[in-house]
Amino acid sequence: MAVSRVLVLLALCVLPALVSAKVVGKPFYVQGRAYCDTCRCGFETSATTYIAGATVRLECRYRNSLGLAYSVEGMTDETGTYNILVEDDHEDQICEAVLVDSPISDCKSADPGRSRANVVLTRFNGVVKTRRFANNMGFLKDQELPGCAQLLKQYLNYDQAE
């Protein structure tokens, strides 16, 4: 009888600690792409180009105050893809990937509707993988490319072609 009480007491003390323990040594990798919206239409098209050398920042904010808790920057590779290493779990924080800068002189203005992407950076939601994907984000070309009007007509008439 005494042994079972000790086991129950031990379980009550150890199990909560195990459940609340954070996974140490397993970083997250946040991945996404930065593009130039060459037709200025607010979404990716077949004329979209992906930006090498764009700067992207990952920001995590406290839920109550929205004060900055964590920030780290990354840069896109030749395919316009960034991979940002995040060491810690940000369980109760709001995290976003944010466009910072484009190296393309006539494509530097971040699209207000596509300049941020939410990212969940915790393992306490059932997702165990370390790679987290953010929606692609875009800068707007100063002047749309020739041929964009025709391209958009193709998108508009897509349903009617079938």
CATH code at position 125 = 2.60.40.10
pLDDT tens, position by position, 65-79: 999 999 999 999 999
pLDDT at 23: 47
Residues 6+ apart with CB under 8 A from 140: 36, 37, 40, 107, 109, 110, 111
pLDDT for residue 115 is more than 70: yes
> pLDDT (tens digit, 9 = 90+) per residue, 7-47?
555 455 544 444 444 445 588 999 999 999 999 999 999 99
Domain membership of residue 58 (yes or no) is yes
Res. 2: pLDDT tops 80 = no
Q: Is residue 1 part of a domain?
A: no
pLDDT of residue 152: 87
Question: Mean pLDDT over all residues of the chain?
Answer: 86
What tokens does 75 get?
Answer: 């840069």
Cα 75 to Cα 70: distance, rounded to the nearest angstrom: 17
Q: Is the pTM of this model over 0.75?
A: yes
Residue 22 domain flag: no
Give the contacts of 9 (CB within 8 A, at least 6 positions apart): none
Domain limits for position 39: 27-161
49 in any annotated domain? yes
The C-alpha angle 84, 123, 18, rounded to 5 degrees, equals 135
- Count other Cβ atoms within 10 Å, centred on residue 29: 14
User: Is 11 inside a domain boundary?
Assistant: no
Task: Give domain status of residue 16, yes or no.
Answer: no
pLDDT at 21: 45
Could you give the number of structural domains in the chain? 1
| Contacts for 47 with CB less than 8 Å, ≥ 6 apart | 38, 39, 145, 147, 148, 151
Q: How many residues are given for the chain?
A: 162
Window from 8-12, 80-84, 136-140 with minimum mean pLDDT: 8-12
Give the whole-angstrom CA distance, residue 140 versus residue 35: 9
Q: Is the pLDDT of residue 138 over 80?
A: yes
Inside any domain, residue 37: yes
Residue 128: predicted pLDDT: 75
How many angstroms separate the CA atoms of 35 and 29, rounded? 20
- 3 in a structural domain: no
